[in-house]
Structure 1
Amino acid sequence: MTGSDASPSFRLAYVPGVTPTKWVRIWNERLPGVPLTLVPVSAAEAPDVLRDGGADAGLVRLPIDRTDLSAIPLYTETTVVVVPKDHLVAAVEEVSAADLADDVVLHPLDDTLGWELPPGLPAKERPATTADAVELVAAGIGLLVVPQSLARLHHRKDLTYRTVTDVPQSRVALSWPEEETTDLVEHFIGIVRGRTVNSTRGPQAPAQRKAERPAKGGAARQKPAGKKPGGTTQRGGSGTTKGGRSGSPKGGRGGKPRRRS
């Protein structure tokens, strides 16, 4: 591992549709002295941004060119089809690729599903971006198949989406330059993998936290046990009865035995 926690900041690139909010919050809680800067990038340019040093790590969509880059897959997204609200597809919970065979399905140039030929009929031209494709769906030109997060990102009141089965899915991964696995990168890896602050790779070593704790039991172990004022002693010994009267152990008779006549 190279680098140092003394780095002034940590730059995290992220592609459209990915929401790093939770991880950024945990970072700020654990490393308040190291500001995290978000760097929005397109899915296509993310690998080059990492290689060129534009970010320390990035949340990207697989597959990517892994040359000189490390990557840890984080999760797989559901694939959906974006349709007008009055389209027949909107009446069902999910559809298959075959159900879209008679519809024009748009294939934007920034497509992230990695397929050469989407289902359905091809459009005359490929839209430049997913945002452009969404506008064409709203205009009734065709449908659009995308990861669910992108459908949410480009949400419109006149459009909806439904799950599509038997089609490629988008995988989101954390990636960084393999020669730049710094301490801060290790910290962020721990966060996205769900390691707690007590993890051995967390910001503070367990041995240090243990040394800061007071000794178990504290001064309470040094205090001798004593009788409680006005209380009873252990079973079998004499003590003070309820009401303050002197008494003998339960089941016994106090005083000198009587002489039988």
Structure 2
Amino acid sequence: MLEVKNVTKTFGGVVANKDVSFSFEEGQIVGLIGPNGAGKSTMFNMISAIFPPSEGEIIFRKQRIDKMPTNAMAPLGISRTFQNLQVFKNMTVVENVMVGRHIRTKTGTLRAALKLPGTKKEEVSAYDKAMEYIQFVGLQDLYDHLAGNLALGKLRLLELARALATEPKLLLLDEIAAGLNHKETKEMSNLIEKIRNNGTTVFVVEHDMDLVMSICDKIIVLDQGEKIAEGTPREIQSNQRVITAYLGAEVEKNAQ
């Protein structure tokens, strides 16, 4: 489904990613882990075309995407959430999710302004679809609440529902469990597995190692911008470079 080939990203004299290569198939949950500053979010930003790589290629379903504009990603089948929440706080929950349906509608600004035939029908369809995704993530009781009034855990679910509303083939989750308590994290894990079981491939950047190790089929590890390991959760847990660079730091911290 996705192939990253010898990708390097530099910002001036700073190397964020260096000659990184990996690939994965459809139908998987794949984790991208590493210490702070390892280049994980930079990699996500390149895959979602927020900025291009300095070198290398990114191929999605046999189509090169690293030179495409950002607004081409969602129609192509790539959607994402953000570590720093990106919601419209003065809009309701259902209105936020309806924004995600925009790329799956045919009504443009002019047709909507003129209220041409079919516009109302498409709007009703977008609303109904948005409600389906709101129910899927468990926000149906809050559908008419302003997003700005929601707690962090609910906002994470809202952003997830909006991403799903684009009907992605590949869903990128950037620290979707950040700030969640243990119960919320467990519920998020179950939701991610449900999304995969419904046919969407999931690629997740996450610091919560329990979540990553419990749901991922494959894990890719970055350290200082370079890939240092790739494999199953069991293989990653026993990899000495990973233990030293990332997992070992967590174990040492917990032992103090």
- Compute the TM-score of the two structures, normalised by the length of structure 2: 0.23
* Bigger-Rg structure (1/2): 1
| Structure with greater helix share of residues | 2
Query: Which structure would you say has the larger RCO, counting Cα contacts within 8 Å and 6 or more residues apart?
Result: 2
